[in-house]
Structure 1
Amino acid sequence: MEIELVNCECCGLKEDCTQDYISEVKAKFDGKWLCGLCSEAVSDEVKRGKKSSFGMDEAVKAHMSFCGKFKSNPAVKVADGMRQMLRRRSGDLSSSSSKKFMRSAST
């Protein structure tokens, strides 16, 4: 099974994928390869647009335009946001556990 590095045509994110997977994604998105994040966004757009006959091609173009408005990769921004959220959460957990330790040590 040969692995190939492929770039998302919307956001530019690079992923290592098999040729079979690349072909599946391209078949689904009108010949364009999209990363997982962009493919989910485009699929959601198509689902929401069924009433107004918003097709796959229009959804891909709209998402590519959306990604083009950002100077940096939107997938990286999402990953950074998740990392910050997890750091805050782990900080909250460690500070609450240290408070419990302090209370039990002082009694």
Structure 2
Amino acid sequence: MNPHVFAVGMIAGVVLVAVVVGAIKFSLWLGSIRNDVVYLKSADKIHTHDHIWHNMNRNQDATDKKIKAELATISKTVNEMVQSLKGVKNANANLV
């Protein structure tokens, strides 16, 4: 075998192995970057979800206050009606 052909073949083999190893390392590096980006996106979604949850809780608190105010108004109205009916009952009792 010609030594020059052998040397060129060996160099080509080493270069080929280096290219394959480099490509594998590069793809792993890109994969880690991709995972970091996915993690950041998911963390951003979680952060956004926290904001939405906070706003929902704040809106719920406002709704609860409105409901309590309405219930207080209804309770007051019912108490006035009961007092009015008691007055009517007392008036009717006085008529008898």
TM-score normalized with structure 1 length: 0.35
The structure in which a higher percent of residues are strand is: 1
Larger relative contact order (C-alpha < 8 A, sep ≥ 6)? 1
Bigger Rg over Cα: 2
TM-score normalized with structure 2 length: 0.38
